A = this chain, B = another copy of it.
Amino acid sequence: MKFNNDYKLGKNVVLGKNVKIGDGTVIYDNVEIGDNSIICNNCVIGEPINDYYSNKNYINPKTIIGENSLIRSHSIIYADSIFGDFFQTGHRVTIRENTKMGNNCSVGTLSDIQGFVKFGNYCRLHSNVHICQKAVIGNFVFIYPYVVLTNDPTPPSNTCIGPTIGDYSQITTGSLIMPGIKIGENCLIGAGSVVTKDVESFSLVLGVPAVKKCDIREIESKEKKGEKHYPWMCNFNRGMPWKDIGYEKWLKIKKFE
């Protein structure tokens, strides 16, 4: 129903095998899309960066979207970014230039990535997440709705220091991460927290400002009585690379890298 070949392609666009492009979508110059990927309707891929409006000799930087990706409708992805395989987005996503995402990442509806950021593999941004410039995010980091990462400690200023988030950490709904904050691995940031200090690995922090409540390995499972839920990788595998073999076995082979 969606794919009537009613789209526009710029110059030097390279489409892999079986790529589908939705009606009303525009793909600008120098975009590459991997095999079997689907770009739904009314998307903009390779949106020209600001220089385009003032520079007559503007050349659109390269944009790469990996194989088996699914970009849902009305999303805008600027030029000069690179996304790995199995990349997915919700609707109306905005991703600015110089964004790097590994494989198997997803970005939810309305999320807004300001560019100049780096994500590892298997990161999941839910709906309406805001990622500031200069953020650095590890692998298997999930970020929940209405989380905002910030980068200016004395607004407005010329300082721009993005937060860093370690592997496996979970940044839950509505929390704010202050500029330059370092969140370790396997952390859990509670809903509605304002994180103003660095967070040690394996910590649950919570509140405004966020303070440490416990080690995440003390948190009870809601699913298996008497057991612990974290590290979550032992209890959750939907879409994860250890789905078929379990996290412990997978750790030894780390197939995803």
Binding site for B on A (CB under 8 A): 1-2, 10, 23-24, 26, 28-29, 38, 41-42, 44, 47-48, 52-53, 60, 70, 73-74, 76, 90-92, 94, 109-110, 112, 114, 127-128, 130, 142, 144-146, 148, 150, 153-159, 170, 172-174, 176, 178, 188, 191-192, 194, 207-208, 219, 221-223, 229-230, 232, 235-236, 238
Contacts and interface: CB of A to CB of B under 8 A. Distances in A.
A146 B24 CA distance: 30
Given A94-B110, A157-B236, 13 more contacts: A92-B92, A94-B109, A112-B128, A127-B130, A130-B145, A130-B146, A146-B146, A155-B232, A157-B232, A173-B176, A192-B208, A207-B208, A208-B208
A245 to B, nearest CB: 18
Contacts of A157: 222-223, 229, 232, 235-236
Given A53-B70, A73-B76, A236 B158 contact: yes
Contacts of A176: 173-174, 191-192
B223 A159 contact: yes
Contact of A76 (B10, B26, B91, B150): B91
B128 A156 contact: no
A28 to B, nearest CB: 6
Contacts of A70: 53
Nearest 4 Cβ contacts at the A-B interface: A192-B194, A154-B229, A156-B236, A174-B176
- Tallying the copies of this chain within the complex gives 3
B150 A148 contact: no
Contacts of A221: 154
Contacts of A148: 145-146, 173-174
A191 B178 contact: yes
A222 B110 contact: no
Contacts of A144: 150, 155
B1 A29 contact: yes
A198 to B, nearest CB: 16
A230 B155 CA distance: 9
Nearest to A114: B127
8 contacts: A1-B60, A38-B53, A128-B128, A142-B155, A144-B155, A157-B235, A158-B238, A159-B222
